[in-house]
Amino acid sequence: MLKRLFDISLSGLGLVISSPLWATIAVAIKIEDGGPIFYGQPRVGKDCKEFQSVKFRSMVPDSDSRWGAVPAKERDPRITRVGRILRATAMDELPQLWNIFRGDMSFVGPRPEWSELVKKFREDIPGFDRRHVVTPGLTGLAQIYGHSELPRRQKLRYDLLYIKKRSFWLDLRLVFISFLVTFTGKWEERSAKLPRLLGGRRTSTRRVAPVAKSECEAPVARN
C-alpha cells in the first residue's frame, strides 16, 4: 500500500513538472525525421497481464517491423540523434509515468519485457515467469548494475534478487540512484552505472533464494 501511494504521488508530480519537457521533446523528434512522437509496445506485467507501454520514440520509424525484436546495442544505427540524448538521460521513458500512475508499472521492479520476447524467454529460461510475481518497474537492479546487452539469464538473477530483498526503503534508494544516473547521463553505459553504491557489482554474484512461482499461463494473458 505504501509503495502504491508513493508511485501515485511521485508519478503524478512528475507528470505535472515534466509537462514543458514533453513539448520540447515532441518538437525535437518531429524536426529530426517527421515520424511519430510516441512509441507503443505490448509489454508483460504482473501475473503475465499485458499492457501497452508508451515511450518517446528514440529509433527510426517502424524499427520493429524492419529489424524485429532486437535489443539496442552500442552505436546502434536505428537510434536517432535525438534518441541518443533521450536514452542517455532516460527522457524517452517520461511517458511511462502515465503507466505508473495507472498501475501498470511501479517506479522500481523488473523491467517489463516485450510480449514477443517473453514467449522466447519462457522456452529458453526455466522459471522465467517468476519475475512476474511483482509489478514491473521503470528502474531496478538490472538497469543500474547491468545494461541492455546483458544476457537475459543474468538480468533474471538481478530481478529475482530484487524480489527476494524488496522493501520500500530499497525502492527509495534505487529511485535516488536512478536520479543520479539520469543527471550524469549514463543510462547508455555498457557497465554498472554507479558501482560503489549498494555494494557495487557484488549484487550479481550473491546466491538468490527461491522465489515463489508465478500464477502465469502461456500465452500471455491480456487485460
| Residues 79/45, Cβ–Cβ less than 8 Å | no
Residues comprising the chain, all counted: 223
**pLDDT value at residue 206:** 47
Q: What is the mean pLDDT of the chain?
A: 84
The residue with greater pLDDT, 118 or 146, is 118
Nine-digit cell string for 9: 504521488
The residue with greater pLDDT, 200 or 76, is 76
Determine the distance from the C-alpha atom of residue 30 to the mean position of all C-alpha atoms in its chain, rounded to a whole number.
Answer: 24
Helix ranges, 126-220 (H): 141-145, 152-165, 168-184
195: pLDDT confidence band, cut at 50, 70 and 90? Answer: low
**pLDDT value at residue 205:** 43
184: pLDDT confidence band, cut at 50, 70 and 90? Answer: confident
d(CA 25, CA 92): 9
The per-residue pLDDT for range 152-180, each reduced to its tens digit, is: 899 999 999 999 999 999 999 999 998 88
The residue with greater pLDDT, 182 or 109, is 109
The per-residue pLDDT for range 93-108, each reduced to its tens digit, is: 999 999 999 999 999 9
60 pLDDT exceeds 50? yes
210 pLDDT exceeds 80? no
Taking the domains of the chain in order of start, what are their residue ranges?
Answer: 2-216
**pLDDT value at residue 193:** 63
**pLDDT value at residue 211:** 65
66: pLDDT confidence band, cut at 50, 70 and 90? Answer: confident
